[in-house]
Amino acid sequence: MKYYVIAGEASGDLHASHLMRALKEQDARAEFRFWGGDLMKSEGGEIVKHYKELAYMGFVPVLLHLPTILSNMKLCKKDIMQWSPDVLILVDYPGFNLNIAKYIHKNSDIPVYYYISPKIWAWKEYRIKNIKRDVNELFSILPFEVEFFRKHNYHIHYVGNPTLDEVTSFKSHYSETQEEFCKRNNL
């Protein structure tokens, strides 16, 4: 299958790289094209844009880079349509990804999957109507989100939190004790 994956920040790059690895274990013929980072790149496939070219935080930086942001959205939509993947997988990054989901849903039959659901319970709860309209399947890493989305009549999948596995993996390769770390960093 052809998988188009969009992760717009470092955490998304990490989580998406693990997802890509898992997909390759299930699908030996998996092809990837993506917006992401070095960790995703290490899993193979073709990178279209690095997340470092995408991330702008705060009101003023977003305004200053609005032409770039809009140009990136246009490029992304065009690239997805030209590559014609079997599936589009969005990873967190809701400001960008929900816009992409809307466009793909409206203009194609490409199924849209969202891994690490947008935190609409924290802000912008109204986005649920867009998610219900534009996202075929939603995957959550926080167990309480299942009930939150259920109250909006939207079924989601709880898949566990990958951060637990990432911390466990890090700790298995890290020999410094907490006391040594604190001393070294003057904490």
Structure tokens at 163: 């951060």
Q: How far apart are CA 63 and CA 72, in angstroms?
A: 14
> What is the three-class DSSP state of 121?
coil
Q: For 2-30, write each residue's pLDDT tens digit.
A: 999 999 999 999 999 999 999 999 999 99
In a domain, 176, yes or no: no
pLDDT in tens, the chain (187 residues): 999 999 999 999 999 999 999 999 999 999 999 999 999 999 999 999 999 887 666 666 666 667 787 899 999 999 999 999 999 999 998 989 999 999 999 999 999 999 998 888 888 888 999 999 999 999 999 999 999 999 999 999 999 877 666 777 777 778 888 888 888 899 8
Structure tokens at 150: 């259920």
> What is the three-class DSSP state of 115?
strand
Number of structural domains in the chain = 1
Task: Give the residue from 97, 170, 105, 95 showing the smallest Cα distance to 139.
Answer: 97
In a domain, 183, yes or no: no
Find the CATH number of the domain harbouring 124.
3.40.50.2000
Q: Residue 56's pLDDT is what?
A: 64
Q: Residue 28's pLDDT is what?
A: 95
In a domain, 173, yes or no: no
Q: Residue 68's pLDDT is what?
A: 80
In a domain, 177, yes or no: no
Q: How far apart are CA 55 and CA 182, in angstroms?
A: 31
Amino acid letter, residue 78: K
In the block, which residue shows the tokens 């770390």?
181
pTM of the predicted model as reported, rounded to 2 decimal places: 0.85
Q: Are 93 and 8 in contact (CB under 8 A)?
A: yes
